[in-house]
A = this chain, B = another copy of it.
Amino acid sequence: MENLHPADETQERILTEAEILFAQKGFRGVTVREVTEAAHANLASVNYYFGSKQNLYLEVFKKRWLPRARQLNQAFDKNVAGAGSDPPGIPEVVEALARAVLEEGVMSEDERFRHHQLMSRELAEPSDAFDLVIKEAIRPMIEKMTRYFGRASLGRRTDREIALCIFSVMGMVLYFNFARPLISTVTGEPYDKGFMARVVSHIVDFSLYGLLGRKEDAPCSAP
Give A214 to B212 CA distance when docked, in angstroms.
9
Within 8 A of B (CB), among A189-217: 198-199, 202-203, 206-216
**Residues of B contacting A163 in the complex (Cβ-Cβ under 8 angstroms):** 186-187
Query: How far apart are A35's CB and chain B's nearest CB, in angstroms?
Result: 16
Known: A174-B175, A212-B90, A212-B213. A167 touches B154 (CB 8 A): no
**Do B216 and A165 have beta carbons less than 8 Å apart?**
no
CB distance from A48 to the nearest CB of B (A): 26
Q: A176 near B: Cβ within 8 Å?
A: yes
CA of A134 to CA of B134, assembled, Å: 32
Interchain CA distance A212-B170 in the complex, whole Å:
17
A137 to B163 alpha-carbon distance, docked (Å): 30
Find chain B residues with CB under 8 A from A199 CB: 164
| Cβ 8 A contact of A208, one of B90, B94, B171, B210 | B210
Return chain B residues, CB-CB under 8 Å to A176.
167, 171
Cβ–Cβ contact A181 & B123, under 8 A: yes
What B residues does A210 contact at CB under 8 A?
Answer: 206-210, 213
Q: List the B side residues contacting A211 at CB < 8 Å.
A: 90, 94, 154, 165, 207-208
A183 at the interface (CB under 8 A from B): yes
7 intermolecular pairs with C-beta atoms under 8 Å apart: A123-B179, A123-B182, A134-B186, A138-B186, A167-B179, A168-B203, A208-B213
- Please give me the 4 A-B residue pairs with the lowest Cβ-Cβ distance, nearest first: A213-B213, A171-B175, A210-B210, A220-B220
